[in-house]
Amino acid sequence: MKSFTYERAKTPAEAAAAVARAPGAKFLAGGTNLLDLMKIEVETPTHLVDVQDLKLASIEPTPEGGLRIGALVTNTALASDARVRRDYGVLTRAIVAGASGQLRNKATTAGNLLQRTRCPYFYDTNLPCNKRKPGSGCAAIGGVSRQLAVIGSSDACIATYPSDMAVAMRLLDASVETVKADGTTRIIPIADFHRLPGTTPEKDNALAHGELITGVTLPKPIGGMHLYHKVRDRASYAFALVSVATVIQKDGTGRVAFGGVAHKPWRVEAAEAAMPQGASAVASQVFADAKPTEQNGFKVPLAARTLASLIAQAKA
Binding site for ligand SF4 (CB under 6 A): 117, 119, 121-122, 129-131, 138-140, 148, 157-159, 201
Q: What is the end-to-end Cα distance of the chain in Å, rounded?
A: 53
What DSSP string runs through 12-40?
A: HHHHHHHHHH-TTEEEESS-TTHHHHHHT
- In this complex, which beta carbon is closest to ligand SF4, that of residue 73 or of residue 139? 139
- Tell me which H or E stretch contains 283: helix 279-286
For the bound state, the minimum distance from the C-beta of residue 234 to ligand SF4, rounded and expressed in Å, comes to 21
Q: What's the helix, strand, coil split of the chain in %, to 5?
A: 30, 20, 50
- In this complex, which beta carbon is closest to ligand SF4, that of residue 122 or of residue 239? 122
Residue of 120, 92, 143 whose CA lies nearest to 247:
92
For the bound state, the minimum distance from the C-beta of residue 154 to ligand SF4, rounded and expressed in Å, comes to 9
- Tell me which H or E stretch contains 225: strand 225-231
- In this complex, which beta carbon is closest to ligand SF4, that of residue 90 or of residue 157? 157
For the bound state, the minimum distance from the C-beta of residue 201 to ligand SF4, rounded and expressed in Å, comes to 5
For the bound state, the minimum distance from the C-beta of residue 171 to ligand SF4, rounded and expressed in Å, comes to 25
For the bound state, the minimum distance from the C-beta of residue 134 to ligand SF4, rounded and expressed in Å, comes to 9
Measure Cα distances from 258 to 167, 170, 177, 245 in Å: 7, 9, 23, 6
Contact 246, 312 (CB under 8 A): no
- In this complex, which beta carbon is closest to ligand SF4, that of residue 50 or of residue 202? 202
Q: Would you call 41 helix, strand, or coil by DSSP? A: coil
For the bound state, the minimum distance from the C-beta of residue 120 to ligand SF4, rounded and expressed in Å, comes to 8
- In this complex, which beta carbon is closest to ligand SF4, that of residue 140 or of residue 302? 140
- Tell me which H or E stretch contains 302: helix 299-315
Measure Cα distances from 15 to 54, 70, 107, 122, 299 in Å: 9, 15, 19, 28, 41
- In this complex, which beta carbon is closest to ligand SF4, that of residue 73 or of residue 138? 138
- In this complex, which beta carbon is closest to ligand SF4, that of residue 146 or of residue 315? 146
For the bound state, the minimum distance from the C-beta of residue 146 to ligand SF4, rounded and expressed in Å, comes to 12
